[in-house]
């Protein structure tokens, strides 16, 4: 099962489950990254149901997501069904790009970073938040054991065990963010970890 198919199946339960699994912290983790975004036109890449919209303030939001079922619940005025790896926008079309809890689902992180770089104006900023594994060996093992049990159990209670087993596995699909964003097409302006043992990261990338 691929990312968009998973989210198509859990769209109506997604916001509640996300809130439960993050113990209500998902919003403050998003906000910390949003604080770096300039005003103006912002692409919410993998915007889903629009959970970030209230915190994006009066920026002009273009919400993009490949899962029409998620996007149908998104109140943003401009909604586009598409993949991050192939953005249907002109070069330099955005002042900022925001993306929360999406990068683990991409089929190509380098391809998506190239596309974000292309659609940002010079000086534009991308702010990204996602889950990762803690850096320390012990913390990583504890975190892996925790998500192997907790995430599918909460998913099962919500009638979506298979989908949430996918989410657990996706956490091991990428290198740590410190490695993943270095040497890319944009300069890393800030990178931080938050949450228990640093299992959530935020990164701010600037197009020079
Ligand atoms: C965990 S949800 C996050 C939704 C929203 N950003 C939030 O903060 O609540 C992940 C979203 O990424 C979307 N997605 C999956 N693969 C994608 C891709 N290749 N490009 C863009 N979005 C993708 C899914 O359809 C889903 O809506």
More confident of the two residues 61 and 21: 61
> What's the CATH fold of domain 3-206?
Rossmann fold (3.40.50)
- Contacting residues for 102 by C-beta, under 8 A, at least 6 apart: 45, 46, 84, 130
Whether ligand 1 lies within 6 angstroms of the CB of 7 is answered as yes
More confident of the two residues 153 and 200: 200
Q: What pLDDT sits at residue 159?
A: 76
Whether ligand 1 lies within 6 angstroms of the CB of 106 is answered as yes
Q: Is 96 helix (H, G, I), strand (E, B) or coil?
A: strand
Whether ligand 1 lies within 6 angstroms of the CB of 3 is answered as yes
Whether ligand 1 lies within 6 angstroms of the CB of 100 is answered as yes
Q: What pLDDT sits at residue 85?
A: 98
At residue 118 the predicted structure's pLDDT band, cuts being 50, 70 and 90, is very high
Domain residue spans of the chain:
3-206
At residue 80 the predicted structure's pLDDT band, cuts being 50, 70 and 90, is very high
Q: Is 82 helix (H, G, I), strand (E, B) or coil?
A: coil
Q: What pLDDT sits at residue 62?
A: 98
- Give percent above pLDDT 70 in the chain: 97
Residue 30 CA, closest ligand 1 atom number = 8
At residue 15 the predicted structure's pLDDT band, cuts being 50, 70 and 90, is confident
**pLDDT tens figures, 83-112:** 999 999 999 999 999 999 999 999 999 999
> From the CA of 110, how far away is ligand 1's center (Å)?
17
Instruction: Work out the average pLDDT over 132-160.
Output: 88
Pairing of the two strands 200-206 and 120-131: antiparallel
The H or E element spanning position 130 is strand 120-131
Residue 11 CA, closest ligand 1 atom number = 27
Tell me the C-alpha to C-alpha distance, in Å, between residue 104 and each of 59, 72, 99, 207: 26, 22, 11, 22
Structure-token pair, residue 155: 């998913």
CA-CA-CA-CA torsion sign (128, 160, 53, 40): positive
Q: Are 203 and 190 in contact (CB under 8 A)?
A: yes
Residue 43 φ/ψ, nearest 5 degrees: -90, 125
Q: What pLDDT sits at residue 109?
A: 97
Pocket test for ligand 1, best of 1, 2, 3, 166 (most atoms within 8 A of CB): 3
Residue with CA nearest ligand 1 atom 10: 102
Whether ligand 1 lies within 6 angstroms of the CB of 48 is answered as yes
- Contacting residues for 145 by C-beta, under 8 A, at least 6 apart: none
> From the CA of 101, how far away is ligand 1's center (Å)?
7
More confident of the two residues 24 and 89: 89
What is residue 2's DSSP assignment? -
More confident of the two residues 3 and 4: 4
More confident of the two residues 21 and 196: 196
Q: What pLDDT sits at residue 170?
A: 86
């Amino acid at each position: 099962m691929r990312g968009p198919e998973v989210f198509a199946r859990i769209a109506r339960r997604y916001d509640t489950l996300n809130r439960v699994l993050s113990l209500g912290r998902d919003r403050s983790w998003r906000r910390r990254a949003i604080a770096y975004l300039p005003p103006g036109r912002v692409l919410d890449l993998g915007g889903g149901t629009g959970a970030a919209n209230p915190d994006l303030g009066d920026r002009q939001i273009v919400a993009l997501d490949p899962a029409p079922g998620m996007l149908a619940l998104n109140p943003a005025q401009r909604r586009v069904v598409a993949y991050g790896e192939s953005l249907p926008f002109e070069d330099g079309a955005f002042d900022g790009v925001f993306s929360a809890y999406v990068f683990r689902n991409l089929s190509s992180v380098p391809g998506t970073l190239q596309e974000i770089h292309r659609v940002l104006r010079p000086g534009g900023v991308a702010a990204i938040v996602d889950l990762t594994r803690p850096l320390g060996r012990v913390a990583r093992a504890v975190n892996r054991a925790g998500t192997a049990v907790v995430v599918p159990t909460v998913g099962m209670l919500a009638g979506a065990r298979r989908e949430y087993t996918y989410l657990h596995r996706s956490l091991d699909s990428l290198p740590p963010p410190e490695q993943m964003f270095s040497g890319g097409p944009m300069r890393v302006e800030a990178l931080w970890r938050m949450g228990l043992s640093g299992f959530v990261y935020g990164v701010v990338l600037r197009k020079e």
